[in-house]
Structure 1
Amino acid sequence: MRETQPPLTPGRCLTGSAISGALGLAVFALTRGIAQTLTAHPIHSQNPLVLRLAGVVRTALLGGGTLAVVVLAVFTLGLLALAVQVAWSPPDA
């Protein structure tokens, strides 16, 4: 059985874009807060393994957050472009 999908409208595209943009801003604020916290609290250890692991964890946290922000920004821009395209396209007969 095939389920029918609701029609694609500019309003739905803009709603999705707003949700994606809001999530992107939230993840950006979280990533910035993590970066500031990690900068304010350096690692105090003489063990080279601890220093390397701490560097890897810090890099993974900031890299993952940055990747999420970029992906959500691309989603937001893509949905905005789709809304413009749907608004300017002629209606199907």
Structure 2
Amino acid sequence: MSDQNLTPKTDAQIQVSASPLRSTIGAVISGGMAFAMYSLMIAIATNFATKPVHSINPLVIKITSAVRTLVVGVVALGSGIFGIVAIGLLALTLQLLIQQLTKPKSSES
């Protein structure tokens, strides 16, 4: 068998320019994901808090605590990243709107 690439390579790459509408839609999607992950984090933390560890072994208690902290931390990190992306996309929207408003009108004559 040969290791040939079955997908054809194209030389032309399409450049998509940023627009206020595209960045606003991205910010809304990212903000929704951040809110969903935040809600998931609260649900997980509440679930962990209501179900204590039923063991007297100190090693089991320490490992359980570490795993629970890790799970809540990873979900919190994801929520924070999506929130920061949403804020950045909103800032990009403002920047693009300001650039469009301050751009001098070109006369078509």
Structure ID, larger Rg: 2
Residue number in structure 1 paired with 2:23: 13
State, as a whole percentage, how many aligned pairs show the same letter: 33
What does the per-residue CA deviation read over 1:35-57, in whole Å, with 9 as the maximum and x for residues that have no partner?
A: 00000001010111110110011
**Map 1:7-86 → 2, pairs under 5 A:** 7-86=17-96
Q: Unmatched 5+ residue regions in structure 1?
A: none
Q: Could you tell me how far apart the structure 1 residues matched to 2:12 and 2:86 are?
A: 29
What does the per-residue CA deviation read over 1:41-88, in whole Å, with 9 as the maximum and x for residues that have no partner?
A: 010101111101100111001111111111111100000000010111
TM-score (ref. length: structure 2) = 0.79
Please provide the CA RMSD for this pair.
1.4
TM-score (ref. length: structure 1) = 0.92
Where 2:13 maps in the other structure, the secondary structure is coil
Q: Could you tell me how far apart the structure 2 residues matched to 1:64 and 1:9 are?
A: 32
Length, aligned pairs only = 92
